[in-house]
Amino acid sequence: MIKNTKIKMNIFEIDNNKINDLKNKNSKNLRVTNVLDVETVKSIVLKIQTNLKCEETDALVLITGVLQRGGTNKGAGNATAYTTGDFNMTAQSLQSVVTSVKKGATNRQLARALSNEIAQIALSLDIEGDLSNQMRYTYPDITSAEAVWCSNFQTTNPNCPERVREWLVNNYKSRFNR
C-alpha cells in the first residue's frame, strides 16, 4: 500500500515529500537565526567606521555602549545613546546601519553575535548591563563584573557567569511567561 503524501488543506494540497526534501536541502535557510553571521557583523562595524570616520575600536566601543544601555530593546531609540570622544551613536542609528547591511536584522542579533566582545569591552570600561540595577534587588552583592553581564542578550552565552545567566533566564520567564 502506497501512503498518500499529499495532505488536503482548506485551499491547497501540501506535498509532504516535497516539504521534507526542501527541509533537508535548505535546513539552514528555513531556520530563523537569532545571531548575525560573522561577515554581516564585520560589514556593520566597517560601515560604522566609514560613516563616523573612526577606527574599529571606536566603532566597537560605541556598539558596546549602546547595547549595554538597552539598545536591543524594541523601544530603544535616540534616548538610548553612547558617546566616546568625538563619536556618538544612538540605538536608532545603530539599528539603521544594521538593517542597511542586512534587511530585517536587529540590534539584538548583533549583540548576540558580539556578546563576548561586548563583555570584554564593557568590563574594561565599566559599562554595566541595562538589567544590572534590577538584578541588584535580588542580589545586592553582585560584583561589578557580574553587573557588566546583566544584559538580556547574554542569556544563552555560556561565558556569562552562572548566577547572572540564571537570574536573566528567571527575569525573562517572569516577564514573558504569564
pLDDT in tens, 42-55: 999 999 999 999 99
Q: Is residue 101 one of the residues assigned to a domain? A: yes
Total tally of structural domains belonging to the chain: 1
Q: Is residue 75 one of the residues assigned to a domain? A: yes
Instruction: Give residue 173's pLDDT band: very low, low, confident or very high (50, 70, 90).
Output: confident
Which residue's entry shows cell 556618538?
Answer: 88
| Residue 32 pLDDT greater than 50, yes or no | no
Which cell numbers hold the place of 96?
539603521
Q: Is residue 25 one of the residues assigned to a domain? A: no
Q: Is residue 149 one of the residues assigned to a domain? A: yes
Q: How far apart are CA 81 and CA 90, in angstroms?
A: 4
Q: Is residue 28 one of the residues assigned to a domain? A: no
Give the pLDDT confidence score for residue 13 in this predicted structure: 66
- What is the average pLDDT score of the chain? 87
Is residue 151 within 8 A of residue 157, CB to CB? The reply is no
* Residue 33, burial from CB neighbour count under 10 angstroms (0-12, 13-18, 19+): exposed
Domain that holds residue 79: 38-176
Q: Compute, in degrees rounded to 10, the torsion defined by CA atoms 114, 30, 94, 99.
A: 150
Tell me the whole-structure pTM to 2 decimals.
0.79
Q: How far is CA 33 from the centre of its chain?
A: 10
DSSP string over the chain: -PPP-EEE-SS-EEEHHHHHHHHHHSHHHHSPPSS--HHHHHHHHHHHHHHHT--HHHHHHHHHHHHHTTTTSTT--TTSEEEETTEEEEHHHHHHHHHHHSTT--HHHHHHHTHHHHHHHHHHHT---TTHHHHHHH-TT--HHHHHT-SGGGTT-TTS-HHHHHHHHHHHHHHH--
Q: Is residue 24 one of the residues assigned to a domain? A: no
Q: Is residue 32 one of the residues assigned to a domain? A: no
Q: How far apart are CA 56 and CA 176, in angstroms?
A: 36
Which cell numbers hold the place of 5?
503524501
pLDDT in tens, 98-142: 999 999 999 999 999 999 999 999 999 999 999 999 999 999 999
Q: Is residue 162 one of the residues assigned to a domain? A: yes
| Residue 84 pLDDT greater than 90, yes or no | yes
Give the pLDDT confidence score for residue 74 in this predicted structure: 82
Packing angle, helices 38-52 and 91-101, rounded to 10: 120
